[in-house]
Structure formats: C-alpha cells, structure tokens
Amino acid sequence: MRAALALTAIGALLLVAEGALVSFLPALLLPDVALVGAVAAALFLDGPASLVVLAGLGFASDLLTGAPLGLHALSLLLPFAATRVANGSLELRHGVPEAVLVALVTPLAALAAVACMHLVGVRAGLGLAFWLGLALQTAVNAAVAPGACALAEGVASFTGDLDPTRRGVAYMGAAPWAASRR
Amino acid sequence: MRELLHRLRLPLLFAGLAVIASISIFADQRALQAGGRDLSWWSGGLLEVAAPIQRVLTAPIDLVRGVWRNYVALLDAREENETLRHQLAEAQEETLQLREALVASQTLEQVAELRSQLELPMLATEVVGQDVSPWFRTVVLDRGRDHGLRAGMPIVTENGVVGLVTATTPHASRAMLILDRQSAVDGMVQRSRVRGIVRGTGAPEVDFEFTGPVEEVKPGDLVITSGYGGVYPKGIRIGEVVSVAQEAPYLVRRAKLRPAVSFERLERVFALLWRSPTLELLSGDTPAPPVLAAKPDEKATP
C-alpha cells in the first residue's frame, strides 16, 4: 500500500505541475496523468492498491480541473478494468505493450467521461475537434506510458509492493510444456 | 467466508468506488447549481497546496516571457509611440467634450452618484493554474475564503466577464470560465436588448441562445450581462457576435460569440465581492461583509 500512496502523491504533484504548464503549452500536449497513472498502477500493483491510486488521482484531477467530483474516478474504472483483464492473460510489462495498452484505453476513458458528463447534463460534443484532440492525446499518453510504468515498477519494487501475480512468471511455472523446457 | 471475501475484495472495492464516485458527481453538480461551494479542509487540501506550487512554477516562465515580450515590443516602440500619442490626443479631446456636455446638463453629480451606487468592491487575484482536461475550462486563483472570496462570486477583467468562483479554500479558489460547458450566463444584446443565454462550449467561442427574430442579433453586436441570471451584475461585457445561425425552423436561435476577455492570456483578474440574493439564499451561509473579510494588506478596490 505504501507504493500506492507514493504513486498517488507523485501523480498529484504532476497534476499540479501540469496546471502551471498549461498556461504555456496546449493542454492536449500534456499527458493525462490520472489515466496513465491508473494504468501503470493496474499493471504493477495488486488490485486494491491500484484502486487506491485510481481513486486518488481521479479525485485529484477533479479538484484541479473543475470536473464534477468523482467524474474522473468513475470514467477511469473502465480502462482500469480493461487493463486488469488484459494483464491477466497477456504479458504487458514492457515498453511497447504498455504504450499500445495506454493508446487503446485512452479512447475508452474519453468515451466513458463523455457518457458520465451526459449523465449529469454536461454537453460534450463528439465532433471532429473531439476526435482530433483525442488522437493527439492518445499519442501523448502512449509516449509517456513506458516512463510512467517504469516509475510505477520502480516505486513498487522499492517498497516491496510489486504485484506477485506477474503473468509471465505464473504462466511459465504453470504451463505443461514449461517443465520440458526447464 | 473470509476466503470468499478475500477473493471478491477487488470486485467489491471496484463497485464501491463506482457508487461513491457516482454519488459524489451528483452531489457536486447539485452544489454547482447552487452557485458552488466552500471546500472542506480534506477536499480542498490539494487546491490549497496547488496554488502556491503553481505560482512558483509559473513565475520563472512568466519572467522569461515578459522579458521576451518587452524586448520585441521595443523593436517598434517608436512607431507605436507616435500612434499612441495621436490616439491619446484624440481621446483627451473626446473626454473634454464629454465632460463639458455633462457639466452643461448639470448631471455630472447625478452620474457620479449613480456610479458609486453601482460599483462593487473588487479583489485583484492572480490566475496561478489552469485545468489540463480537454473537457473543462477552469482556473485556480491565489485568493480564497480568507480574502473574502465565496463560491458564486463573479470574476471579471477590465475587458469583461471571466466566469465565477465555484469552489473555495482558505487561501485559493477555483473559478469556472464562461467557456466551460457547464457555464450559462444570462446576457442581452446591447443594441437590440434581446435576451438570451450565453453557454460555454469548451471551445474558444461561446454560444448565445436567444428567441425572437434573427435580425435582432447581428455580427458585431456586443452582448452584455442582463443582470437577470442571479450571478452577474448587469452591464458587464461578455463578447461580440461573430456569426448568427440562420436556420429558420428552430424556436431557439444560436449565435457565436467571441468572448471580450482573452482567455489565452489570463493573468490578473478581479473578483467582485458580491453575491446575488438568490445565491445567498441557495448557499444558506452568511458570509462576512466582503470588504471587511478582505485582509488589511489585500486592499479591496472600490
């Protein structure tokens, strides 16, 4: 759980820093820290700890962006679940798979956010600008994903909270053909 | 049983978080409709921390940008100086004529009195952070409850309406810009007095929704606050009509407005230390008189 708290604190600080940077850089060029952080946590921490990171970063995003409190946390649940499911059957803990995973879940999170906003009566158009912005945001998120995942892995290793159910290790041990290879 | 709970803990936590987040969203929306809210210490803690950090991060970049801007400005300062000198002379002549006209009609005192009645105490505040979400348009201000700010107070610049305070902590606050999708301002066209709602779209331009003949709203018209919305005082500039949608069949017509305020370069803004009676009733709290609530060293400018 220490890793979860540390990652939440780091993520919150990055969100604050982004708030200052956005005065000089277009918002779409800055990564979605909450999403990338939640995915990284889902990959490297156990279930409850990664949910703590998701909730912490989600609510922090809401406080800093003026979104209805809880919107980011709710919309991040979908990519979080997708990551946990995918991580259960695929080896995703490498640079390229991490980037691809984040690229795939970024539109999921965006569409979930749109759905949540419609629920509370906030209009959010799905026009060309939305899709172009989403494409750019997806690319930025994917680019920073390996770095974020490395950070999450480093913190989890340091605190001893690295998820032991690492798919690759478990699979090699359990596979019928693994014994012959050994 | 324990093992079952252990196995189901992730789905249970997942569902619990979904329920808490959903309840929180609806509660927050309700608070926003009531003009915003003062954040408690645990929910506003991050905003409290964010404001000074963002101010520190922004300062050096602002400095570099300011030096660069001033240097570039100096390159053609002479030409610009001549133009400004000319404009100043014209403005002085115009002011003199207006003053003479007012004195001549013996209304100067009445006008001055009316102005003093309408004037509201204001508090200068710096924008120290913006949101990074593509969905929402809010800013973080470096003044909060201890300086007299309350949720629901309007934020303006010398050019026009910026938005309103939606959440406050003791030393910082968050303001929703009129560009935000959740923003709706009651406005009217200054020329034809047609009323409508100015809605944020998340884009740099805002929508002006009105009923009535489309001819009454033309590109170039100035839209100001009507004073009816219960949030903004009457007569503050919102923006200029850029285009009017010509679709006839709809009862509600829509025009695009270019906001009077340049949101890309938002640095110093003014909070009107005033809330409409409607918001006072909805919020239920009894804020201290704004001028008294301001710190002695933070002069509220009348």
Question: What is A18-47 written as a DSSP string?
Answer: HHHHTTTS-GGGS--HHHHHHHHHHHHS-H
d(CA A72, CA A37): 12
Residues A111-135 have pLDDT tens digits of 888 888 887 777 766 778 788 888 8
Is A170 inside any structural domain? no
Strand B252-259 versus strand B268-272 pairing type? unpaired
Residue in B19, B28, B48, B132 to test binding to A, most A beta-carbons within 10 Å: B132
**B18's tokens:** 């979904």
Per the document, the length of chain B is 302
* Cβ burial B140-169 (10 Å sphere, 16+ → b, else e): bbbbbbebbbbbbbbbbbeebbbbbbbbbb
Q: Is the dihedral of CA B159, B207, B151, A20 positive or negative?
A: negative
* B293: amino acid identity, one letter: A
Please indicate if any CB of chain B lies within 8 Å of the CB of A81: yes
| B186, β-bridge pairs | B197
pLDDT (0 to 100) of residue A169? 46
Residue A16, burial from CB neighbour count under 10 angstroms (0-12, 13-18, 19+): buried
Q: Which residue from B minimizes the CA distance to A72?
A: B21
Strand extents, DSSP E, chain B: 37-38, 122-130, 138-141, 154-156, 161-168, 173-177, 184-189, 195-199, 206-211, 222-225, 237-244, 252-259, 268-272
> Are the C-beta atoms of residues A64 and A16 closer than 8 Å to each other?
yes
Q: What is B36-75+120-295's CATH superfamily?
A: Rod shape-determining protein MreC, domain 1 (2.40.10.340)
What is the least distance, in Å, from the CA of A174 to any CA of chain B?
20
- Is pLDDT above 80 for B73? no
Q: Which residue from A minimizes the CA distance to B23?
A: A70
Number of domains in chain A: 1
The radius of gyration computed from the CA coordinates of chain B, to the nearest angstrom, equals: 23
How many contacts (CB atoms, under 8 Å) link A and B? 155
By mean pLDDT, which of A99-108, A112-121, B232-241 is the weakest? A112-121
Residues in B touching A66 (Cβ below 8 Å): 131, 133, 136-138, 166-167, 174, 176, 180
- Is pLDDT above 70 for B251? yes
- B294 confidence band (pLDDT: 50, 70, 90): very low
A65 with B133: Cβ contact below 8 A: yes
Phi, psi of A133 (to 5 degrees): -60, -40
Residues 192-211 of B with CB under 8 A from A: 199, 201-203
DSSP character for B215? G
Q: What is the ipTM of this complex?
A: 0.77
Is A178 inside any structural domain? no
Instruction: Give me the residue spans of the domains in chain B.
Output: 36-75+120-295
d(CA B193, CA A110): 40
| B37, β-bridge pairs | B167
Please indicate if any CB of chain B lies within 8 Å of the CB of A85: no
Residues in A touching B199 (Cβ below 8 Å): 123
Residue A34: which domain range?
A: 2-163
Is A110 inside any structural domain? yes
Provide the 3-class DSSP secondary structure of residue A68.
coil
Phi, psi of B155 (to 5 degrees): -115, 130
Per the document, the length of chain A is 182
Q: Name the residue with higher pLDDT: B295 or A51.
A: A51
B25 with A64: Cβ contact below 8 A: no
- B249 confidence band (pLDDT: 50, 70, 90): low
Please indicate if any CB of chain A lies within 8 Å of the CB of B38: no
What mean pLDDT is predicted for residues B228-245? Answer: 85
Please indicate if any CB of chain A lies within 8 Å of the CB of B13: yes
Whose structure tokens read 């980011």? A72
Is A176 inside any structural domain? no
pLDDT (0 to 100) of residue B39? 73
> Are the C-beta atoms of residues B120 and B273 closer than 8 Å to each other?
yes
Provide the 3-class DSSP secondary structure of residue B148.
coil
A113 with B32: Cβ contact below 8 A: no
Question: What is B65-84 written as a DSSP string?
Answer: HHHHHHHHHHHTHHHHHHHH
DSSP character for B265? G
d(CA A105, CA A116): 16
**B45's tokens:** 């803690």
pLDDT (0 to 100) of residue B108? 52
Q: Name the residue with higher pLDDT: B13 or B6.
A: B13
Is A168 inside any structural domain? no
DSSP character for B297? T
Farthest CA pair distance, chain B: 92
A21 with B180: Cβ contact below 8 A: no
pLDDT (0 to 100) of residue B289? 45
Please indicate if any CB of chain B lies within 8 Å of the CB of A122: yes
- Is pLDDT above 60 for B198? yes
